[in-house]
Structure 1
Amino acid sequence: MTIDFPEPTRIPVNGVHLEVFEAGRQNVGNPVVLCHGWPEHAYSWRYQVPALAAAGYHVIVPNQRGYGTSSRPTDVTEYDIAHLSGDLVALLDHYGYADATFVGHDWGAFVVWGLTLLHPDRVNGVVALSVPYQERGETPWIEAMAAALGDDFYFVHFNRRPGVADAVFEQDTFRFLRNLYRRNVPLAAPQPGNALINLARAQTPPGEPVMSDSDLAVFVSAFESAGFTGGINWYRNLDRNWRLLADVDPIIRQPALMIYGDRDPVAKAERLTEFVPNVEVVSLDCGHWIQQEKPQETTEVILRWLDQRSSTP
């Protein structure tokens, strides 16, 4: 790791072990938990960790189940929102915290939103990057995506053709991640088939690299060891999550910060404030990999929001 990133420890939580990176231990009592997305790693927060610790926060960064050297259960249902949020609750218990501010990017944002719905007393603030709060709606999410986007859309494909994409990504982990972690990607006409599988097989990557070769190597090494199935199993629980959230109060009442990338293909939420009334929305000039594409700007936005909350009586 080319940036001074903490050494990990493996912590038993909720029936699994998580690989956890920790900084700012001297700031006990002021926790911020950073939650990565797919296919990511705790190291995706490498720019934010030292800045948050220097600003007075106890920074806790897990590789969530299925990632890095964290446990990788074989049962697909062990990656649903109840298990993933349960891991984070147990992590708070390990450190003796009643609650914390949770920051999530991509799938990590979905987990943090779900954690806040299922365990509202354990979350004192939410920061989401890229993925806004997802309305539950009347139709299970995968069913709705299949109807709107077709069976080749990657969420649907992961569910209906289990193991196929996993194997393609693992054939050449370096090429897949090199091709995926790009910015300033030019618009292109959709091609037949699963877009991520097509990307994994492409000889020439689009756009420009998001990270240096040495930083990319951290991700490649982690996925060469862990594989992709654990992370993809998060997708395979989307309809199960829809059912698990059926009877939950859908309103997020905690203070929240939503950070979008203006060129992120993930859609913005038109009705965000109806479900997250205490949200501040910020957009940065970047694509999907927000905290890595715009590290300084992302860190400044998060720190300003945290500082405003701490100074509000």
Structure 2
Amino acid sequence: MVDFPEPTLVPVNGIQLEVFEAGRENAGNPIVLCHGWPEHAFAWRHQISALAEAGYHVIVPNQRGYGNSSRPVEVTAYDIEHLSGDLVGLLDHYGYEDAVFAGQDWGATVVWGLALLHPERVRTVIALSVPYPERGEKPWVEFIADILGSDFYYVHFNRHPGVADAVFDANTARFLRNMFRKNQPPGPQPGMAPIDLAKAEKPVGEPLMSDDELAVFIAAFESSGFTGGVNWYRNADRNWHLLADVDPIVRQPALMIYADRDVVPRGANLTEFVPDVEVVELDCGHWIQQEKPEETNRAILKWLEQQG
């Protein structure tokens, strides 16, 4: 187990976030690390010390719906305006005009949205796994349904509210054990893969983390449940509408870290929407910073050094 900071509850944007910090002596040079689904701030455990030692004030929230952060009941409380507003509130709390923002999985999606909605608060963007979400002509859920089918999990979460959450809540340890794997068979899984994972007796691939590390995730979700995190998905079309009149170009320098074995598709038009982007590829699966922590740290620190 790595050392992990003790949390603080920080009031932001009308809620409270559970926040983990390191490198307070580096005040004035903030980096905010945003986790994905179904995760926890603990997903960044391998990056915190390295970034603090490199001179950063590292701020790692459990975002709304996760851990001991607030879990509003309303689904719309998890749209991109609220999620990005929470990060702006964090900056205000610490007295920062802007910061480096890094996100993995859904955390990357939120950071991309933050860069569009509050560009003056984002110094640079670091995205892992999930590229810039291009806003096409169709709302995202409809677009995904057309390509991957109405039973694909992203669509299912939206059209059958509460069903997946109940399965995850009833099988928390099994679901997370089966989700956090590496060296799995390649290719996207059809249909409701997350529900299948929650019910599967035997996982495929190899464990991503130790039993003690996995226990941190299990304890957090046994306390919080999964509905808050799944509600992020249930705002996909709402987010599509909220971003309709926003300048779609990310003008900050950005680092995009892809995983060669990830099932998430790469951004075909990434440079069109993020013109100042550098792309790095690592030989691993979706959970990049946990599977390849040293390589991830080197890539991030090298790029940040180049940004001055």
Number of aligned residues: 308
After superposing the two structures, state which structure 1 stretch, 139-148 or 276-285, moved more.
139-148
* Distance of 1:31 and 1:260 partners within structure 2: 24
* Distance of 1:195 and 1:232 partners within structure 2: 14
2:266 is paired with a residue whose SS is: coil
TM-score, normalised relative to structure 1: 0.97
* Distance of 1:258 and 1:196 partners within structure 2: 25
Percent identity, aligned pairs only? 71
After the TM superposition, which residues 225-304 of structure 1 pair with which residues of structure 2 at under 5 Å, given as runs? 225-304=223-302
- Which residue does the alignment assign to 1:176? 175
TM-score, normalised relative to structure 2: 0.99
Letter in 2 for 1:287: G
Q: Note the alpha carbon deviations across 1:76-134, whole angstroms, 9 max, x for none.
A: 00000000000000100000000000000000000000000000000010000000001
- Which residue does the alignment assign to 1:32? 31
After the TM superposition, which residues 7-22 of structure 1 pair with which residues of structure 2 at under 5 Å, given as runs? 7-22=6-21
1:188 CA displacement: 7.2
Q: Note the alpha carbon deviations across 1:121-167, whole angstroms, 9 max, x for none.
A: 00010000000001101100001111111111111000000011101
Q: Moved runs in structure 1, 4+ residues, more than 4 A?
A: 188-191
2:250 is paired with a residue whose SS is: coil
1:196 CA displacement: 1.1
1:74 is paired with a residue whose SS is: coil
1:187 CA displacement: 3.8
* Distance of 2:49 and 2:188 partners within structure 1: 40
Would you say the 8 A contact 2:188–2:263 is kept in 1?
Answer: no
- Which residue does the alignment assign to 2:103? 104
Q: Note the alpha carbon deviations across 1:20-55, whole angstroms, 9 max, x for none.
A: 000000000000000000000000000000000001
**Structure 1's 303 and 187: CA in aligned 2 closer, same or farther, altered over 3 A?**
closer
* Distance of 1:96 and 1:190 partners within structure 2: 44
Which 5+ residue runs of structure 1 have no aligned equivalent? none
1:215 CA displacement: 0.2
1:11 CA displacement: 0.3
2:123 is paired with a residue whose SS is: strand
Instruction: State the superposition RMSD in angstroms.
Output: 1.0
Would you say the 8 A contact 2:186–2:263 is kept in 1?
Answer: no
* Distance of 2:92 and 2:203 partners within structure 1: 43
- Which residue does the alignment assign to 2:142? 143
* Distance of 2:188 and 2:36 partners within structure 1: 26
* Distance of 1:290 and 1:300 partners within structure 2: 13
